[in-house]
């Protein structure tokens, strides 16, 4: 019977976070709806940075990129990670102190990295925002949540921000 197999003491949930309001809303939804008092909850916040650009010493217009510019871009990327993770931790703290929060920061193409990490750590559930792009963007670029729903092995929750539907 399915019921017996599903009952668990430990509950491990991955929430894919980024700088969007939608991903913070998905995290709030998760804390409201998936965190139970009867389980030991581990929440893993997963942030994927875009892949580092390959800097040529000359850009297309022939200007030389200084080391300062490259370092400034890297600093900006790190600030963004800290800002997103800080905000996500604040939200977790406001909901419950019973949740053990872990953070994973990786880089690459978000859809591939999320699938790879989720299929490796095998959580009970993956939660993510939908990024409900309009028709053209979705049709041509595809969506991270579509891709993950197809390729991860655990249940996936796709949460849309109610004000962005």
Question: Is 17 in contact with 46 (CB distance < 8 Å)?
Answer: yes
Pick 71 or 122: Cβ nearer a copy of itself: 122
Angle value at C-alpha 58, between 53 and 60, nearest 5 degrees: 80
- Which of 85, 89, 95, 107 contacts a copy of itself by CB under 8 A? 95
- Which of 60, 61, 64, 165 contacts a copy of itself by CB under 8 A? 165
Question: Is 128 in contact with 156 (CB distance < 8 Å)?
Answer: yes
Site string for a copy of itself, 126-155 (x = CB under 8 A): ----x-x-----x------xx--xx--xxx
Q: Does 15 bind a copy of itself (CB under 8 A)?
A: no
Tell me the window of 31-39, 45-53, 61-69, 100-108 that interacts with a copy of itself (CB under 8 A): 31-39
In whole angstroms, how close is the CB of 2 to a copy of itself at the nearest point? 4
Inter-helix orientation angle 110-121/144-151, to 10°: 30
Name 58's bridge partners.
64
Q: How far is CA 34 from the centre of its chain?
A: 17
């Amino acid at each position: 019977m399915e019921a017996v197999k599903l009952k668990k003491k430990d509950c491990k949930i991955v929430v894919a976070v980024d700088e969007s309001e939608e991903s913070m809303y998905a995290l709030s939804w998760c804390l409201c709806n998936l965190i139970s008092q009867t389980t030991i909850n581990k929440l893993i916040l997963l942030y994927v940075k875009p892949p580092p650009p390959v800097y040529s010493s000359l850009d297309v217009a022939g200007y030389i990129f200084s080391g300062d510019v490259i370092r400034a871009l890297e600093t900006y990327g790190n600030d963004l990670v800290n800002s997103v993770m800080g905000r996500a931790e604040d939200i977790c703290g406001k909901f419950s102190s019973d949740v053990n929060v872990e953070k994973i920061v990786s880089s690459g193409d978000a859809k591939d990295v999320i699938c790879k990490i989720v299929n490796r750590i095998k959580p009970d559930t993956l939660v993510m925002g939908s990024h409900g792009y309009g028709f053209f963007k979705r049709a041509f670029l595809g969506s991270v949540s579509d891709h993950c729903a197809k390729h991860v092995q655990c249940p996936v929750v796709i949460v849309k921000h109610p004000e962005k539907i």
